[in-house]
Amino acid sequence: MSRWFSLARKEWMGLRWTMLIAALAILAADGYIAYKAPAWASNVAEESLAIGLSFIPFAGLFIASLIAGYLAMRSEWQQHTSLRLLSYPVSGTGVVLAKVAVNAAALTVLAIIAGLGTWLVARRSPIMLMTLLGAEGPFAGMEAWEIWVNVLSMVVMGLSWLVCVIAAGAFAFVVGTLVPRIAGLVSALVYAVMVYLTGLYGSLALYLSSFLPNMPFIVYSHGALGAERFVIPVIPIWPLVVASVVMILVAGRLLDKEVDA
């Protein structure tokens, strides 16, 4: 296990400067938007523009998550660190898991920073703040513990999706290396097949996971008769977890075979 942590630490250290630059860029952008937000508050459209601009970092993080796993394994392949170096004698599954875990952690940290920036912009936008915290807002009538349950459910859901997407990128690259001359094309085809299978069997996976214990998401509907409470199960978590585990194990096994060969 200590060797795996050494490999994960090496991967983290390799990302630290990229993370620092991205974090500073997000903080600078959101800080400027938050500074200008009160001046834009005289116009609803301009205030909405401020909130919209604060969400731009999330679009960048979404794109980064789609390619993080592929680029991480590509770097692994180019540097040949998977070839049983004496300093990191871990299995192929361990290598893939380290790449996925560290990249997921890095993107999570950046997402937290972006989320804090968006919240700061919202706090500096009077109309948006009244909309969120007013009597008709999404938090109206909710207890503190219900808000925290929703936050926890969304965090687990987001992490599950993030790990699954990064694992898919790593899996696509490892499969692509089976045909080195057209590895990029094969990886793209693997991506396409996974998207197709998700659309084909996604509803079945969600149906099956609905029979398992699922985390709740609590919402209130405000009508003429008062507030009505609904508890919605977050059912995509289990399919995402299962898919992530399968892709990491298969990619690790393929990596082992390529190294042994």
What domain range is 179 assigned to?
Answer: 2-260
Q: Where are the alpha helices (DSSP H) in the chain?
A: 2-40, 44-54, 56-79, 92-123, 126-133, 144-176, 183-209, 237-260
The residue ranking higher by pLDDT, 165 or 184, is: 165
With bands split at pLDDT 50, 70 and 90, how would you rate the model's confidence at 257?
A: confident
- Number of structural domains (the chain) is 1
pLDDT at residue 128 is higher than 80 = no
Full-model pTM:
0.87
Burial label for 208, CB within 10 Å (0-12, 13-18, 19+), is middle
Alpha-carbon distance 88 to 6, whole Å? Answer: 7
| 64-118 tens-digit pLDDT | 999 999 988 887 777 655 444 444 567 888 889 999 999 999 999 999 999 999 8
